[in-house]
Amino acid sequence: MRYSNDRTIKSGTTRATNRAAIRLRQAFNAGNIDATTLVIGDSLRLDHVAFRYLGDPSMWWAIAALSDIGWGMQLPAGTRLIVPTNLEQIEALF
């Protein structure tokens, strides 16, 4: 399965995705996660955005969590995303 490791964070350690998402949002709200905001112009997939900004497509869930958009991969044009830009900051949370 392509996304069988989506719940893998930091050197193969598995975390419950919902707990990881909550921890990530708390760190972002506290100013501990660098991020950029973008509005996508064309239909786009979260894993492609994760690869572009974090170098790891399996981190799509971090964008979904910060953007409060649910867990769908495909995004329609006009979707506003909060995209973390530093994978090390995310990994440091776990």
The pLDDT score that the predictor gives to residue 60 is: 92
Number of domains in the chain: 1
**Whole-model pTM over 0.75:** yes
Percentage of the chain modeled with pLDDT above 90: 55
Whether 6 is in a domain gets the answer no
Q: Over 90: is that where the pLDDT of 11 sits?
A: no
Q: What is the pLDDT of residue 4?
A: 47
* Confidence at residue 18, expressed as pLDDT on a 0 to 100 scale: 76
Helix locations, the chain, DSSP H:
17-29, 46-54, 60-67, 87-92
**Structure tokens of 55?**
């170098």
**Looking at the domain assignment, is residue 1 inside a domain?**
no
**7 assigned to some structural domain:** no
- The first and second tokens of residue 74, run together, are 């495909």
> Per residue in 49-93, pLDDT tens?
999 999 999 999 999 999 988 777 778 889 999 999 999 999 998
Q: What's the domain range around 38?
A: 12-92
